[in-house]
């Protein structure tokens, strides 16, 4: 996911999950962990809308090995180069259900981690408070559009070693978790827009030049 176009605050009607509730702690040593990943990794160009790998469901991760670890390192390096806050594997052309994130929540707390085989948990109606802030995507470079999403999200999946994990996010981080999970099931955020807003986002992309390397569509 691209960084916000403008700084915005968030109000959340949902309490933040605590580690004792079975959620992964992804805020400790966030800067050091992110730096270690990207220093081991190699930045790769970003695939953009129209590339077939972005428009189909990715394969489940079944091998939690050194190859997966290298992929995650490369994803952190690629995310940093593109100045993003979240990146799915198919955004660098890899057909696997894994995403990484380096994203603040609505309180400005930095979250860093990786999730394999993510599934969004369905929220009860009492926890579905919609936020219609702008959203952007590294695979739709330079384009932004308002999109309503719940301001609280829970994703369950596995970590890089295959251990079951749950990740909870509020505000901007909740948007990131939903955005990246969508990617791995073949959806870009523009697929959730009206036809008019989607057309406008694609126009923005066509009229501007990204600051990072992209894979041209044939």
28 is catalytic: no
- The three-state secondary structure class of 48 is coil
Decide the pairing of beta strands 46-47 and 214-215: parallel
Tens digits of residue pLDDT in 20-50:
567 999 999 999 999 999 999 999 999 999 9
For residues 179-192, average pLDDT: 98
Catalytic member of 18, 57, 180, 213: 180
Nearest to 120 by CA among 182, 47, 58: 182
Q: What is the pTM of this model?
A: 0.92
């Amino acid at each position: 996911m691209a960084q916000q176009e403008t700084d915005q605050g968030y109000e959340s009607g949902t309490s933040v999950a605590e580690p004792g509730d079975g959620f992964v702690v992804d805020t400790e040593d966030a800067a050091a962990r992110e730096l270690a990943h990207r220093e081991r990794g190699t930045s790769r160009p970003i695939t953009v809308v129209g590339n077939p790998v972005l428009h189909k469901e990715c394969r489940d991760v079944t091998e939690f090995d050194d190859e997966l670890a290298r992929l995650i390192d490369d994803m952190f390096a690629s995310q940093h180069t593109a100045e993003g806050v979240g990146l799915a594997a198919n955004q660098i052309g890899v057909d696997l259900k894994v995403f990484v994130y380096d994203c603040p929540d609505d309180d400005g707390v930095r979250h860093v981690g990786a999730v394999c085989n993510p599934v969004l948990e369905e929220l009860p109606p009492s926890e579905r408070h919609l936020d219609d802030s702008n959203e952007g995507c590294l695979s739709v470079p330079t384009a932004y559009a308002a999109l309503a999403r719940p301001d609280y999200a829970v994703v369950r999946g596995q970590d890089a070693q295959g251990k079951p994990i749950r990740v909870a996010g509020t505000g901007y981080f909740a948007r990131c978790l939903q955005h990246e999970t969508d990617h791995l099931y073949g959806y870009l955020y523009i697929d959730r827009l009206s036809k008019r807003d989607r057309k406008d986002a694609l126009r923005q992309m066509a009229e501007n030049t990204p600051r990072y390397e992209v894979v041209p569509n044939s």
